[in-house]
Amino acid sequence: MTSFPESGRLVGHVLLDAVVAYVPGGDPDTNAASTNLALQAIAEIDEAIVVTARDDGNLNVNASGIMGGAMVTVAQLVEQLAEARGVSREEVIAEMRAYLDS
């Protein structure tokens, strides 16, 4: 894999842990509790989220560690699914968009 920040790599693992914690068709309350527990590990990852105070008193929130880890994880899964199905990445992404909108 190309150069990738450590925070993104660790976030990718946490996201996969949350997927493992979720049981399709399982009890919604149990699924919510188990995935939330898995996702809490993100708080322990240095630079997953960086908050800095600006001179005007407002805060800057940089979530590039989380977004980078999520993007690389999803992109790799889309590539694998497209290859396994023998379809384009665009078709897999269109299916996911339809799923999200349903």
pTM for the full predicted model:
0.82
Q: Given pLDDT bands bounded at 50, 70 and 90, which one contains residue 4?
A: confident
pLDDT at 23 (0 to 100) = 97
- The mean of the pLDDT values for the chain is 94
Q: What is the pLDDT of residues 33-69, one digit of tens each?
A: 999 999 999 999 999 999 999 999 999 999 999 999 9
- Report in angstroms the alpha-carbon separations of 49 from 16, 69, 94: 18, 12, 29
pLDDT at 1 (0 to 100) = 58
Q: Do residues 38 and 17 make contact, with C-beta atoms less than 8 angstroms apart?
A: yes
User: Is 74 contained in some domain?
Assistant: yes
* Phi and psi torsions of 62, nearest 5°: -115, 110
For residue 53, count other CB atoms closer than 10 A to its CB.
Answer: 9
User: Is 73 contained in some domain?
Assistant: yes
Over range 73-77, report the average pLDDT. 95
pLDDT at 3 (0 to 100) = 75
User: Is 97 contained in some domain?
Assistant: yes
Cα gap 93→101, rounded to integer Å: 12
User: Is 29 contained in some domain?
Assistant: yes
Is the pLDDT score of 86 beyond 80? Answer: yes
| 86 phi-psi bin (left φ>0, alpha ψ -120 to 50, beta other) | left
Q: Given pLDDT bands bounded at 50, 70 and 90, which one contains residue 5?
A: confident
**Containing structural domain, residue 85:** 6-101
**Closest to 47 measured CA to CA, from 99, 10, 102, 87:** 10
Locate all alpha helices (DSSP H) within the chain, ordered by sequence. 6-21, 28-39, 64-85, 89-101
User: Is 75 contained in some domain?
Assistant: yes
User: Is 62 contained in some domain?
Assistant: yes
User: Is 1 contained in some domain?
Assistant: no
Number of structural domains in the chain: 1
